[in-house]
Chain A
Amino acid sequence: MPIKILSVDDSRTIRLIVGRSLRPYDCILCEAANGEEGLVAAAREKPDIILLDVTMPVMDGVTMLTKLKEDPALKSIPVIMLTAESGRDNVIHIARLGVRDYLVKPFKEEQLIDKVGRIVQLKRKEVSAPTAAPVPAV
C-alpha cells in the first residue's frame, strides 16, 4: 500500500520540489495551496503524513495545525512543518502545537526524505529489469 502524503504550500515551486523528491518512492502525493484547502484535503484523503508550510494566504499553517489537532479524526496525522522561519521562538511555538518535526527552507531534497522517512516507511519503487536489446543477426 503506497504511503499517502499531503503537501500544503502556497508555492507551487515547493510542492513541485516535494513531488520531485518523493518520485522514487512508492507514495501518493496530494496537494493543497493553503490551510483551508489543506484541512479539506486531510479530511478527504486521510494522509499518512502532512508537509505543512507556515506563511500562506487564506489560512496559515499554524492555524491549520491548530484546527487539525482539535479534530479527533485528524489529530493523529503526523505533521512536518516546512518553514522559512527558523527562529527559536517560532520553533518552540510550532513544537508546542504538536508537530513531529520541522524543516527549514532552504533545504536539500535528501533532508526532506530523511525527515519523512523517520516518520513513515518510504519504500523505493520497484524498477523493472531493463529489457535486453535484441542481438543483431550475424
Chain B
Amino acid sequence: MNVQTPSLDIRHYLTGHLVEVFETMLSMKVTPLTAGQPPVFIERVTGSVGFGGDTVTGAVYLHLSATFANRITTAMLGLPPDEAIGETEVNDVIGECTNMLAGGLKSTLCDRSYDCAVSTPAIIRGTSFVIESPQDVQHELLIFDYDGVRFAVEVHIKFNQTN
C-alpha cells in the first residue's frame, strides 16, 4: 500500500530521509530495496517514535538486527567497530535515529497542515514480534540494505480527516 496525502508520498519521503540520516550521521550509504522479502532477525532491536494530532496519528519504527544496531552505535559514537558497548548506548543511538526519521516526517506533515507532535523514542527488543494496528490504519514497510545487511523502516499512519 502506498500511503499518500494529497501532496505527500510518505514512502518516497521516508526513503530519501533515511538515506540522508544514515549518510549524514553515520557516513553510511544505504540502498533502498524496491523488492524482496522483509528482513528476518534472530535478535531484533526496534526504535519507535509516535506522532499525533487532531488530523493525523501514527508511529515510525526502525527495525534492525542486534548486530547491526551495535554497528550503527559504534559508527555514531565514533568508536572502533568491535568496541564493546552496552544496551544503554545502543538504545540511545537507535532512539535518536528513529527520532530524526519521525521528526522529519512530522515536519513534512505539519507543512501540509497535518499538525502533530512527536513522542520521545522507545526501544523494543525481542526475538519474534509483530507490530499490528487496527484495520483503518495505513501501513508502509520500507526495506534497505547496507553492506549486505537488510533492515527496515515501518510507518503506521491514520488520517482522521481529509484536509
Question: Which residues on A are within 8 Å of B, measured CB to CB?
Answer: 10-14, 16-17, 20, 55-57, 83-90, 105-108
Interface 0/1 of B4-28, CB less than 8 Å to A? 0000000000000000110011000
Number of CB contacts from chain A to chain B under 8 A: 68
* B24 adjacent to A11 (CB under 8 Å): no
Neighbour of A87 across the interface among B20, B77, B106, CB < 8 A = B106
User: B67: which A residues are within 8 A, CB to CB?
Assistant: none
* B107 adjacent to A85 (CB under 8 Å): yes
Q: List 15 A-B pairs, Cβ < 8 Å.
A: A11-B92, A11-B95, A11-B99, A12-B92, A13-B92, A17-B76, A55-B99, A55-B118, A55-B119, A84-B104, A85-B118, A90-B110, A106-B24, A106-B100, A108-B24
* A13 adjacent to B111 (CB under 8 Å): no
Question: Which residues on B are within 8 Å of A, measured CB to CB?
Answer: 20-21, 24-25, 76-78, 88-89, 92-93, 95-96, 99-100, 102-104, 106-111, 115, 117-120
Known: A13-B96, A55-B120. A87 touches B107 (CB 8 A): yes
Neighbour of A85 across the interface among B88, B93, B106, B120, CB < 8 A = B106
